[in-house]
Amino acid sequence: NPYAGLVSHLRASWLSGKTRPMEYRMAQLEALGRFLDEKKQEILEATDLDMGKPSFEAYFTEILLCKNELNVTLNNLSHWMKDEHVDKNLVTQLDSAFIRKEPYGVVLIIAPWNYPIHLFLVPLIGAIAAGNCVIIKPSEISKNTEKLVAEMLSCYLDNDCFAVVTGGVQETTRLLENKFDYIFFTGTPSVGRIVMTAAAKHLTPVTLELGGKNPCYVSDTCDVPNVARRVVWGRFFNAGQTCIAPDYLLCSLEMQEKLMPALREAITEFFGPNPQESPDFGRIVGDKQFQRVRRLLCSGRVAIGGQTDEAERYIAPTILADVQPSDPAMQEEIFGPILPIVVVANMDEAIDFINARPRPLAIYAFSCDSKVVNQVLERTSSGGFCGNDTLMHVTLTSLPFGGIGNSGLGKYHGKFTFDTFSHHRGCLHRNMGLEALNAPRYPPYTQQKLGFLTATFEVKRRGTCTLL
Amino acid sequence: MERMQHVIARARAAFNSGRSRPLEFRIQQLKSLERMVQEKEKEILAALHADLHKSGPNAYSHEILGVLGELALAMEKLPSWAAPQPVKKNLMTMRDEVFVNFEPLGVVLIIGAWNYPFVLIMQPLIGAIAAGNAVVVKPSEVSENTAKLVADLLPQYLDRELYPVVTGGVPETTELLTQRFDHILYTGNSAVGKIVMAAAAKHLTPVTLELGGKSPCYIDKDCDLAVACRRITWGKYMNCGQTCIAPDYILCDPSIQSQVVENIKATLQEFYGEDVKSSPDYERIVNKRHFKRIMGLLEGQKIAHGGESDEASCFIAPTILTDVSPDSKVMEEEIFGPVLPIVTMKSVEEAIDFINCREKPLALYVFSNNKKLIRRVISETSSGGMTGNDVLMHSVVPDLPFGGVGNSGMGAYHGRYSFETFSHRRACLIKDLKMEVVNKLRYPPGSQEKVDL
């Protein structure tokens, strides 16, 4: 077991208790803030090398959003760490009943390549804030960022408590043989199953942030230019390599016709007449992924874009029209700059289409009629939902971010990350005196004692008329 | 097996029809459960007596009272629990609707245990129904009378398609676990917990595992020993020690060991009289297998009190062991029986180290007049939950989450936590289709001015 030594070293640090004081956690978090500030340039460069990530995007997702999370955590940590006192029943009125937030111990964070800093750093913020020791496993596919993280993070964080492990599938498999106290995984559903199976051997709780095909329904009553812009922005951000990107569009035939020029207009507005020359459009991360995404182009007909350049791993912002549910682009999560449009007759058909498929990480619905948006929300299920825009719901630190069913289990962001990495321990601190009050619960049991117990323990219903 | 698949498919179709979602429906089902508990109280108590030799008042207070309380709580609070929760907005979303929606997960599975066979099915079921799910209920086959009763009663009171009961043993449960559920709540032991989680992993099904372990009980020299020992005796020998949060073993200074024994002996006399076997308030071990297992733990031990047994009736007398070695068999596995080992510790530091060398338990108990010492033990150990200066009681405070950590489990339930366990918290942002001006800041082409803004 090649990682046994590392894990037991971290476990020894954990048992020493050094990660528990608030001052320690704050100091480590502030060091992470310095990492983001001082290594900003290196981060922008590494992500540019890895997938041609435009610096505007890299700054927004890898630096800005991370600093938001950091600041929310630093501002609120002392409050989050406090014992949460709870309501008591009659028999415990004079006692102290509270929930104590405790670190789990040694936790593992496995991150993917598409937002390679953000997707390990934001969980890491919560893990440190909650008082754990952490092993970070960045993705080997975004190799420049992996190298950056492996070399630089140790200059900022306490190396006895936080370590970076690099490597591919084999190394990750060996790493998962060890016992962790929590595992946080972001990636595909198939690897999610492998991670959870490995976790089951040690009864390790997990959070799995997975994916799926996020549908985007556009109703016939909508502001076409605004819809086009918001959809284009969400789809082509990071060249489509976003777990919450709108994966495919559902709309009527008329709307498909109306949208097409607006989509074309938005793409040109954003990326110019030749997106390959725009500094604001990314590239596919690797050759294997490039081949996979390119194969999906044989679906429906290419209405906009479709050009590719293998040397650069460039795929143009592409809209596919008249796509059939049986086409390649509708069989897997696209994770590339291709937006298929599937024509449906109406909203009901769109909702049935969505519900016939595995529950996605996000669902989008566009309409000027708020009733339509609410109908889609109420009649479907997904990790999260955004009406009349794409992606934006995950920029709010007050909303939980996570999947359901095949798109994942658990949630994070903001306080939810802190809670994810904390054990909520129910505590009751009773009085040693007043033993007479306990007498009714002791044997020998009598009907009279039972009557007394019932009176003191029971939760009474308030009048039913006030309920509905 | 085919029947099982058919039952689950029917539950899923019933869930997909949407009828379990309106609050009125859920409350009506919960009201029906309440009627069931009230109308069939005699039958429920009879089944519990047949399975565990539990007396009427005992069974009522352990299994029925709690269930009625949870039902009342759920029916009262459901509208507020299920209401969309608005959350804090940022500058960009000031004019938008931002909230968390609580939604049912779908078809969930509840696997019960045999030691509190009624409440360990009912309490999760209440939360699952309140959250709007369809529920497949699998009571433990070991407590066979209660299992049969649950299988008979639930279809008489609840929607038959949405809430089917599946009975059977290991082969049936294994088959059940190959099917896809949207959440599984399992109560039982860690070994089976791993099997349940591995099966759930195949479908990416989230799980709540209420497992067990050895719940330590530290008695400080500075405490009212008579009171402490009475409370410990109550919690230890309740249900003949077959309680997941029973104080499993005692840690105390050698100088008070014999006093502890004397106090417990006196309390046992008070509770069960001279002849424990004839007390109607003392239960029996659930079956011969567990009887033999527990008797085996007594080998080579110093029996300070008790030790008598009668295999025919699965009776084991309340037993205390002294000067127990940490390496002995009785200190390796969860006892789950009326045997109380005392391991002597020279200091609270030693006790804390002892506890921390072992798997995290479901519960932890500490008795002391010194509040600082209690706070110290809490801060320097970890456990699912804990009670200071008493035992078991943290599990009846409705607003405390009840669950394990590490080997003692994952997830929590009771009260509001049951509702949340069986719900999906869906993040929702509803924007205006107008006000595009604000969005222009985020669109390409990117520029430093935009970033600085």
Tens of pLDDT along A44-74?
999 999 999 999 999 999 999 999 999 999 9
**A178 shares its domain with A292:** no
B339, B299 Cβ separation under 8 angstroms = no
Is residue A415 in some structural domain?
A: yes
Look at residue A464 in the predicted model and tell me its pLDDT: 43
Q: Which domain holds residue A394?
A: 215-406
Q: Which of B330, B317, B403, B356 has the alpha carbon at shortest distance from A424? A: B403
Query: Position of tokens 């306490």?
Result: A158
CATH T-level fold of B216-396: Aldehyde Dehydrogenase; Chain A, domain 2 (3.40.309)
Phi-psi region of B134 (alpha: psi -120 to 50; beta: other; left: phi over 0): beta
Among A383, A384, A460, beta carbon nearest to B72: A460
Residue A465 lies in a domain: no
pTM over 0.90: yes
Same domain, yes or no: A336 and A373 = yes
pLDDT tens by residue, A180-237: 999 999 999 999 999 999 999 999 999 999 999 999 999 999 999 999 999 999 999 9
- B214 exposure class (CB count in 10 Å sphere: 0-12, 13-18, 19+): buried
Cβ neighbours of residue B429 under 8 Å, at least 6 residues apart? A384, A385, A386, A387, A389, A392, A393, A396, A399, B93, B96, B97, B98
In sequence order, the 6+-apart residues with CB closer than 8 A to the CB of B368 are B219, B220, B222, B223, B374, B388, B389
Asked whether B271 and B304 are in contact (CB, 8 A), the reply is no
Q: Are residues A151 and A268 in the same domain?
A: no
Q: For A443, which of B271, B394, B445 is closest by C-beta distance?
A: B271
Q: Please enumerate in sequence order all residues whose Cβ is within 8 A of that of B353, keeping only pairs 6 or more positions apart, or say none.
A: none
Q: What 3-state DSSP class applies to B209?
A: strand
Q: What is the pLDDT of residues A72-117, one digit of tens each?
A: 999 999 999 999 999 988 788 889 999 999 999 999 999 999 999 9
| Same domain membership, residue A121 and residue A260 | no
Q: Is residue A430 included in any domain, yes or no?
A: no
Nearest CA among A359, A254, A242, A261 for reference residue A304: A261
Please give the C-alpha separations between residue B184 and each of A416, B177, B193, B402, in angstroms, as whole numbers: 22, 9, 11, 16
Sequence-ordered strand ranges (E) for A269-321 = 301-304, 308-309, 314-315, 318-321
A191 and A107 within one domain: yes
Report how far residue A181's alpha carbon sits from residue A54's, in angstroms, rounded to the nearest whole number.
37
| A95 vs B158: CA distance, rounded Å | 38
Q: Are residues A303 and A415 in the same domain?
A: no
And the tokens for A427? 């505590």
Domain with CATH 3.40.309.10 in chain B: 216-396
Question: What is the DSSP annotation of B310-321?
Answer: EGGGTEE--EEE
d(CA B387, CA A426): 8
**Cα separation, A451 vs B397, whole angstroms:** 19
**DSSP codes of every residue in B112-169:** --SSSTTHHHHHHHHHHHHTT-EEEEE--SSSHHHHHHHHHHHHHHS-TTTS-B----
- Contact call for B93 and A396, based on CB within 8 A: yes
Residue A149 in domain: yes
DSSP 8-class letter at A18: T
Look at A442 and B234 and tell me if their CB atoms are within 8 Å.
Answer: yes
Q: Judge: B429–A446 Cβ closer than 8 Å, yes or no.
A: no
> What's the rounded Cα separation, in Å, for the pair A80 and A415?
8
| Count of the separate structural domains present in chain A | 2
Residue whose C-alpha is closest to residue A318's, from A276, A379, A286, A378: A276
What kind and span of H or E run contains A311? none
Start-end of H helices in B40-91: 41-52, 56-59, 65-82
- Assess whether A221 and A326 both reside in one domain: yes
CB atoms under 10 Å from CB of A200, counted, come to 21
User: What are the backbone dihedrals phi and psi of residue A421, each rounded to the nearest 5 degrees, phi first?
Assistant: -95, 15
Euclidean distance between the first and the last CA atom of chain B, given in angstroms as a whole number: 63
- The answer to whether residue A237 is domain-embedded is yes
The average pLDDT across A156-168 equals 98
Looking at domain B1-211+408-429, its CATH architecture is: 3-Layer(aba) Sandwich (3.40)
- Amino acid identity at A56: F
Measuring CA to CA, which residue among A196, A76, A192 is closest to residue A126?
Answer: A76
Which runs of consecutive H residues, i.e. helices, occur in A237-277? 253-271
pLDDT reported for residue A461? 59
Which two tokens mark B99? 């909230």
8 Å CB contact between A313 and A284: yes
Mutate to test the interface with A, among B31, B35, B204 (most CBs of A within 10 A): B204
Question: Buried b vs exposed e over B153-177: b needs ≥16 C-beta within 10 Å?
Answer: bbeebbbebbbbbbbeeeeebeebb
pLDDT reported for residue A356: 97
What gap in Å lies between CA A256 and CA A350, rounded to an integer?
A: 14
Residue of A432, A434, A448, A458 to mutate when probing chain B, most B C-beta within 10 A: A432
B352 residue type, one letter: I
Query: Contact at 8 Å (CB) between B217 and B391?
Result: yes
- Any alpha helices (H) in B357-428, and if so which ranges? 371-380, 416-421
Residue type for B348, please? V
Q: Backbone phi, then psi, for A343, in 5-degree steps? A: -80, 130
Residue B105 is which amino acid? L
* Residue among B182, B410, B427 minimizing CB distance to A399: B427
φ, ψ for residue B109, nearest 5 deg: -120, 130
The answer to whether residue B318 neighbours chain A at the CB level (below 8 Å) is no
A459 in a structural domain: no
Angle between helices B41-52 and B23-39 (to 10 degrees): 70
Q: What is the least distance, in Å, from the CA of A223 to any CA of chain B?
A: 7
φ/ψ of A187, rounded to 5, equals 170, -150
- Domain stop point among A406, A431, A450: A406
A393-408: average pLDDT = 96
Answer whether residue A425 shows pLDDT above 90: yes
Model pLDDT, residue B442:
83
- DSSP, collapsed to helix, strand or coil, labels residue B50 as helix
Can you give the pLDDT of all 453 residues of chain B as single tens digits? 678 999 999 999 999 999 999 999 999 999 999 999 999 999 999 999 999 988 888 899 889 999 999 999 999 999 999 999 999 998 888 889 999 999 999 999 999 999 999 999 999 999 999 999 999 999 999 999 999 999 999 999 999 999 999 999 999 999 999 999 999 999 999 999 999 999 999 999 999 999 999 999 999 999 999 999 999 999 999 999 999 999 999 999 999 999 999 999 999 999 999 999 999 999 999 999 999 999 999 999 999 999 999 999 999 999 999 999 999 999 999 999 999 999 999 999 999 999 999 999 999 999 999 999 999 999 999 999 999 999 999 999 989 999 999 999 999 999 999 999 999 999 999 998 877 777 778 888 876 566 565
B244 as an active site residue: the answer is yes
pLDDT in tens, A7-51: 999 999 999 999 999 999 999 999 999 999 999 999 999 999 999
- For residue A196, the surrounding DSSP H or E stretch is helix A189-200
**What is the nearest CA distance from B189 to chain A, expressed in angstroms?**
11
Looking up residue A327, the CATH number of its domain turns out to be 3.40.309.10
Same domain, A178 and A252: no
φ, ψ (nearest 5 deg) of residue A130: -80, -5
* Residue-level length of chain A: 468
Pinpoint the residues of chain B covered by CATH 3.40.605.10: 1-211+408-429
Do residues A148 and A206 share a domain? yes
The answer to whether residue A377 scores a pLDDT higher than 80 is: yes
Q: With an 8 Å Cβ cutoff, are A278 and B411 in contact?
A: no
Please report which helix (H) or strand (E) contains residue A59, including its range. Answer: none
Query: Tokens 């567990």 — which residue?
Result: B290
Q: Inter-chain contact B384–A425, Cβ cutoff 8 Å? A: yes
Q: Map residue B37 onto helix, strand or coil.
A: helix
Residue A188 and residue A277 in one domain: no
